[in-house]
Amino acid sequence: MRLFNRHIRIGAAALALASAAAACSGGGAQEPGTVQIAPGDAEVLGGKAAVDAMTGLYQAAQRAGQSEVVVYGPGEEDRRPAYDKFEERFPGIEVRGEFFVGPEMTSKINQEFATGKHIADIAQSGDTAIAPYLEQNRLEKFVPATAEGLDPSFRDPDSVVHSSSASTFGILYNTEQVEAAQAPKGWNDLLDPRWRGRMVMEDPTKFGGSFGTLNHLMFDGGYDERFVQRLSAQNVHLVATAAASGTAVATGEFPVAATYPYSFYIRDKAKGAPVEFVFPVDGGNHLSPHYLALLSGAPHPNAAKLLTWLFTPEGQRALADAGYYPTMPKGPAPGEYPPVDELELLEPFPIAKVNDISAENLAAVKEAFK
């Protein structure tokens, strides 16, 4: 284990990106297709080089009539608040996030490549979903100026795909049934006999967040098949989805969900659910990077490249507020957690080998939970 110190239609108005040193424009309403950068805004947009790059992309998108970006992935509903911020910054470009998971997303993208009728611009998902697109040469290389300083663990070796945020997984518990002092604090705490028969989790014998967590713990080397076997021996109740496990905890059916996404917790909490989230610090922090992958044949390539605004301090803050862990060093973090470069992260997967590693670990998990 190691500490990583570093993963609508556009209006006809002309683009006006003022420099950080320029004075703010008057109090008139902002025209569609016009972005005003007030003094000091260059810093929240990543500096002059990033602003210049985004200016060029915005102008190119305008000239080409590219008024939307279509993104496929499993976290698109949760990222909506961040996309709203993007649309405020770049009027006239709408982000259309469409929820697709794993095989469903692959099937949709395969169909678009087979027919030549491309709808998606970007696939934004985890390493096991994105790795095949790299192998099949279905992605366009684009190195964002906004991602300067991104740790190499949050991109592939050839810098084709980059992760602006990661899903954060931890332990969910019902505050009406479990006191904070008694809640599990780390992954090994899930093996405590008092939780036997009292935990729920998404079925880890298929690809998903729960398997992803166990997969990463096993790959890191701090946990092994014996850990998975002991967890299974706790008689954990398995459900089809992570959302279902959260519902089971919120309603009091079970006091603890063994693995749960932080972004789901944010949503549950906003609805008034009596739940709290534990981000395990004992034994390493598990983050699941979501990579931005620009698809070959993207119908809105310049607008799509502009979405790398997500790497800017402003974009990173928006992602943190949506419940995702930003990947830029010294950036914001969700809740009261530290920046990503201060976390003791589990060993990152080599993206070229992740599917082989995952297949081996999935077999072990299936054997343990059979």
What's the angle, vertex CA 279, arms to CA 277 and CA 282, rounded to 5? Answer: 140
Phi, psi of 315 (to 5 degrees): -65, -40
In 3D space, the residue among 302, 361, 252 whose CA is nearest the CA of residue 61 turns out to be 302
Over the chain, what is the mean pLDDT?
Answer: 90
Residues facing residue 204 across a β-bridge: none
Position 4 scores a pLDDT of 35
What's the angle, vertex CA 31, arms to CA 30 and CA 32, rounded to 5? Answer: 120
For residue 256, what is the DSSP state?
E
User: In a structure prediction context, what are the per-residue pLDDT tens digits for the chain, which is 370 residues long?
Assistant: 333 333 322 232 233 343 333 333 334 444 445 555 676 789 999 999 999 999 999 999 999 999 999 999 999 999 999 999 999 999 999 999 999 988 899 999 999 999 999 999 999 999 999 999 999 999 999 999 999 999 999 999 999 999 999 999 999 999 999 999 999 999 999 999 999 999 999 999 999 999 999 999 999 998 999 999 999 999 999 999 999 999 999 999 999 999 999 999 999 999 999 999 999 876 788 999 999 999 999 999 999 999 999 999 999 999 999 999 999 999 999 988 899 999 989 999 999 999 999 999 999 999 999 9
* Parts of the chain belonging to CATH 3.40.190.10: 41-166+290-342, 167-286+352-368
Q: Please state which of the four CATH numbers 3.90.1200.10, 2.60.40.10, 3.90.920.10, 3.40.190.10 is assigned to the domain occupying 167-286+352-368.
A: 3.40.190.10
Contact 155, 161 (CB under 8 A): yes
79-111 pLDDT, tens per residue?
999 999 999 999 999 999 999 988 899 999 999
DSSP string, 222-251: SS-HHHHHHHHTT-PEEES-HHHHHHHHHT
Give the pair of three-digit tokens for residue 306: 């502009």
121-155 pLDDT, tens per residue?
999 999 999 999 999 999 999 999 999 999 999 99
Q: Cα separations (Å) of 137 from 161, 289, 296?
A: 12, 21, 8
Residues 6 or more apart whose CB falls under 8 angstroms from that of 175 comprise: 274, 275, 276
CATH match of 41-166+290-342 with 3.40.190.10: yes
pTM of the shown model: 0.85
105-123 pLDDT, tens per residue?
999 999 999 999 999 999 9
